[in-house]
Amino acid sequence: MRWVILDRDGVINEDSATYIKSPEEWIPISGSLEAIAELNRNGYHIAVLTNQAGVARGLIDLATLEHIHAKMRKQIEEHGGRIDAIFFCPHAPEDGCRCRKPQTGLYEQFANQYNVDLDGIPAIGDSLRDIQAAQSVGAEAILVETGNGKKTLKRNPKLDVPTFVNLHEAVQYILFTQG
């Protein structure tokens, strides 16, 4: 099976400095749902690996997070796509867990559950921690300029990873380079 790993906030949907706390606040980035469907049509499975510190901060409970993910899945399905797996870290940065990116725990959980070799798998994110986690496990880190992507580039001008305006452009790169 061929996989693509996606961060959620800032890659698939609009990000928020105050967290996405309800299904109503989950708003897809233009073209992202279609991009996921295009990956699926070309034989790719999609895993979402996402930090969700709002859970640890008491801003959102697990049931609401599941409702947000259900909305995301439904909207993607309406565009002919699907998400095959979602892994999330419910901890705050100060908790020191292994699953919060840039740590590699979410990647390890995904790889173990689906028996996947992470070497070279495209992993698309919008922040330095997404890039660092992907590189730490040998995945092909790809940055998008949506969400925190432009800030990430400005703060890390020597970041040497493929960078694209949005998920749609990143998907075109994956399809061109990996078929």
Residue whose entry in the numeric block shows the structure tokens 């890659």 = 11
Q: Do residues 51 and 86 make contact, with C-beta atoms less than 8 angstroms apart?
A: no
List the catalytic residue out of 9, 61, 95, 117: 9
Among 138, 82, 83, smallest CA distance to 107 is for 138
List the catalytic residue out of 7, 117, 119, 130: 7
Query: Which parts are annotated binding residues?
Result: 7, 9, 89, 91, 97, 99, 126
Token duo for residue 17: 């400095």
The answer to whether residue 61 is catalytic is no
Token duo for residue 176: 């061109």
The answer to whether residue 15 is catalytic is no
Query: Which parts are annotated binding residues for Zn(2+)?
Result: 89, 91, 97, 99
Token duo for residue 34: 């279609």
Burial of 33: CB neighbours in 10 Å, binned 0-12, 13-18, 19+: buried
Token duo for residue 109: 């959980």
Query: Which parts are annotated binding residues for Mg(2+)?
Result: 7, 9, 126
Q: CB count, 10 Å around CB of 155?
A: 11
Catalytic residues: 7, 9
